[in-house]
Structure 1
Amino acid sequence: MKQAVGKKDALVILQESAASIRQLIGNQKYALCITDCPAFDDVADTRVYGFSCQVQFAVSCGLLTSTEGEQMVNDLENDLEVIKKEAVDRSAQ
């Protein structure tokens, strides 16, 4: 049985994926892993890379425009930078 995926479905899936990454990274700030663990940036980069591949696939399928896709990836990267900055500020206290 084939099921078509529309733009709305793609957006929901991508937003859930981004939220999962934000939650994962956000949870780590309370354990101070962000500032103390050099591998943390590699994990975050890997998750963002995977997300950007999902977004690119949606763009390639015509479910998102390239501008929408770039905005989603930029929003996630910016949110993760804010989380990291908050963790660094917290650990400095």
Structure 2
Amino acid sequence: MTEFMHERAIRLLQDDAGKIEKLIEVQMENLTTRQCPLYEEVLDTQMYGFSREVDFAVRAGLISEAVGKDILSRLERNLATLYEALDRKR
């Protein structure tokens, strides 16, 4: 695998993680609580799909398992930060 393919895979995964963050941000701004079943279902679905995407990239040899875990952990941390910021605005 070339370095180009590795970097491209990481960039695509980071772009998708950003889309999830934006989706959650929009939902949080339009919902009164994170305990809303619709919110939880969308978040669960998005996170599951993204974790499968990362798993595929690892299995295909596009990224290492450590990089995959780092991308997922970063998304989870970013979402936690987003929750805190949005909760403070309320």
The TM-score with structure 2 as length reference comes to 0.82
CA contact (8 A) 1:29 1:83 kept: no
CA contact (8 A) 2:24 2:43 kept: yes
CA contact (8 A) 1:28 1:34 kept: no
Q: Deviations over 1:36-91 (max 9, x none)?
A: 62321221121011111000100001111111000100111111122122223322
Q: Who is 1:72 aligned against?
A: 71
Unpaired stretches in structure 1, ≥5 consecutive residues:
none
Aligned length: 87
Question: Quick one: which amino acid aligns to residue 26 of structure 2?
Answer: N
* Cα RMSD after superposing both structures: 1.9
Q: Who is 1:62 aligned against?
A: 61
The TM-score with structure 1 as length reference comes to 0.80
Q: Who is 2:30 aligned against?
A: 31
Unpaired stretches in structure 2, ≥5 consecutive residues:
none
**Kindly tell me: are residues 31 and 51 of structure 1, through their superposed partners in 2, closer, same or farther at Cα, counting changes over 3 Å?**
same
Which sits farther off after the overlay, 46-55 or 27-36? 27-36
**Kindly tell me: are residues 6 and 34 of structure 1, through their superposed partners in 2, closer, same or farther at Cα, counting changes over 3 Å?**
farther
